[in-house]
Structure 1
Amino acid sequence: MKNFRRNILLIGLIAFLSVNATSQNKKSSVTESDVKTEKKKKKKKKKKVKLPNIDLSHWKVTLPVANEEGKPIEISPPEILDFANIEVAKPYMYIDSTRGAIVFHAMPTDSKTRNTKYTRSELREQMVPGDNNTNWTFADGAYMRGKLAMDASTRGSDGKYHRTIIMQIHGRLTNEQRDLIGEDDNNAPPILKIYWDKGKIRVKTKVLKNINATVPAILHEDAWGDDDGFNFEEEVGFSKFTLEVKVSDGKMVIVLNKNEYKVYENVHIRKWGVFENYFKAGNYFQTRDKGAFSKVRFYELEVSH
């Protein structure tokens, strides 16, 4: 009888231990699965924030919106460093943190800079932050590199995308040159305009109408005309691409994706050396069509002298 009871107890103990071990295994298995699932959920929830590789400490921006005087609103250093928190800038210059870019958004408005009918959300280089009076010449040398992409663009009545200027080298008169020719501002023509034009990159520069002209004649804006322009072969479309602009004494080189080059080295570039210059980058929209707009993403932008 004692043996019978002992066997019953032993069988019960074995059954209990077996059930308990199975239960623990199940708990362990479920817990591991839950942990893995939870980790996956957390990974999905955590979207990686990307920031553009752009130092704005030597740039000011012109926005396609006017102040009380009807002039385009500009934001200079150091305020531009906090542009993401400036209400007036938010619709026209903002960070795309999923792509790591600054987006420049422009459309036709009543806000236009002098001598143009178009609007812009565009950066203007300032070698001395907050000051427009310190600039560079071709003899000084200059380099600009940008990694960018067209984010969006509307189409005209012809079904083709509207174009926009994404990079420039703009000329500037010194105060002495301005006074010499009797102008009321320091504006000079842009020696370089780089367009996003229907998915391709187009370059325009200036040429002297009279190659024998000298100072002071060549200081006048009407002494310069437009060249025929140049189109790079590669179609960038809405994909990311890189542009480089290299300037030296009497020479200007534009490079697309380190693959195609356009070199300007002629009498026009040599004589342009009389002007001061500054870089521009962003979105200078080239239409007044109602409802039109474009957005340009800049991932990287650097300048050196």
Structure 2
Amino acid sequence: MTSFLKYKLSVIVIILVSVNVSCQTTRHGTDTKIKKEKSKKKKVKLSKIDLSYWKVTIPEGTGKGGAISVEPPEILNYATNKTLKPYMYNDSTKGALTFYAYPTSATTANTKYSRSELREQMVPGDDNTNWTFKQGGSLKAKLAVDEVSRDENGKYHKIIILQIHGRLTNEQRDLIGQKDNNAPPVLKIYWQNGKVRVKTKKLKYAGANSIGILHEEAWTDDEGFNFEEEVGFRKFQIEVKVSDGKMVVSLNKTEFAVYDDFNMKRWGIFENYFKAGNYFQSRDEGSFAKVSFYELEVNH
């Protein structure tokens, strides 16, 4: 075999080996890329909040007093309910239950503001079974305000994120001749410009009798209490504990607002229920808010 032929054969062998190595490297590189792409896919996280004892009201319906509400057991299928989806849905990247609200004509009977908000039902599907301060109750919630619009002065719009709402029994309603069972909310917890603010009720006249205090007009807002910590758009934890004549609200287990005066003792005449979600406090055009709940638990 001539030297020239040996040279040609060597070149061919080198080329074939190079091509084979190149193909292996390319396949290996492609496999690695696919694995990396798969690893980048985020895991789906579903909310673990039990809605068996809650109904929801959303800002859709037939005008004032006609906002749509969905009770158990229908609320348990909220993820596939086309009516609820725009206002109450799973954020599967966070594992949170998100409430969206904006101004609409569909409000509840005693307010001008829209809400995407849960209402506690001790008996699923029944608004007539509630609790008193003497019976007591507690609420724990972990949540975050995701987005909220600003007003013309550049301040974020306010949101009520948690409440304890009062309710007249049927007998109390009939006694004072009121058309419905509505009583004032003894507790409103606001998200306001990145801080948490608490407002409660106090009697206008301390000497009001047991019939007089059933009227909403007998009560007014207190001056309010601001927690020092700025929560901004981060997660935070609220706990509310109610007992006979006393109410305690805490933020992240480090700050506490304690109410144990005669107003709380007189409030014991009412029934109550917890509320949680996004009760949006604006009618400005184009305004909106999103609030996500990661945990929500009530005990009695």
TM-score, normalised via structure 1 length = 0.89
Q: 1:77 aligns with which of 40, 58, 72?
A: 72
Written as runs of structure 1 = structure 2, the 5 A alignment for 1:1-305 is 32-44=28-40, 46-67=41-62, 71-305=66-300
RMSD (CA atoms):
2.6
Match of 1:53, SS state, is coil
- Opposite residue 38 of structure 2, the aligned amino acid is K
> Please, which runs of 5 or more residues in structure 2 have no aligned partner?
1-12
Change (3 A) 1:166 1:188: same
- Opposite residue 160 of structure 2, the aligned amino acid is I
- Opposite residue 51 of structure 1, the aligned amino acid is L
Aligned-residue offset at 1:51: 1.3
Aligned-residue offset at 1:269: 0.4
Give, in whole Å, the separation in 2 of the partners of 1:186 and 1:70: 14
Number of matched residues? 300
- Opposite residue 33 of structure 2, the aligned amino acid is T
Give, in whole Å, the separation in 2 of the partners of 1:172 and 1:231: 26
Match of 1:54, SS state, is coil
Aligned-residue offset at 1:34: 4.4
Q: Give 4+ residue runs of structure 1 displaced > 4 Å after superposition.
A: 17-34
1:14 is aligned to none
1:8 is aligned to none
Aligned-residue offset at 1:219: 0.8
Which 10-residue stretch deviates more, 29-38 or 105-114? Answer: 29-38
Change (3 A) 1:260 1:69: closer
Cα deviations by residue, 1:34-67 (Å, 9 ceiling, x for unpaired)? 44333212212x3211112211111001111114
Cα deviations by residue, 1:69-123 (Å, 9 ceiling, x for unpaired)? 9600001111111112111111111111111111111111111111211111100
> Please, which runs of 5 or more residues in structure 1 have no aligned partner?
1-16
Which 10-residue stretch deviates more, 57-66 or 31-40? Answer: 31-40
Identity, % of aligned positions: 61
> Larger radius of gyration, structure 1 or 2?
1
Confirm or deny: 8 A CA contact 2:63 2:107 kept in the other structure: no
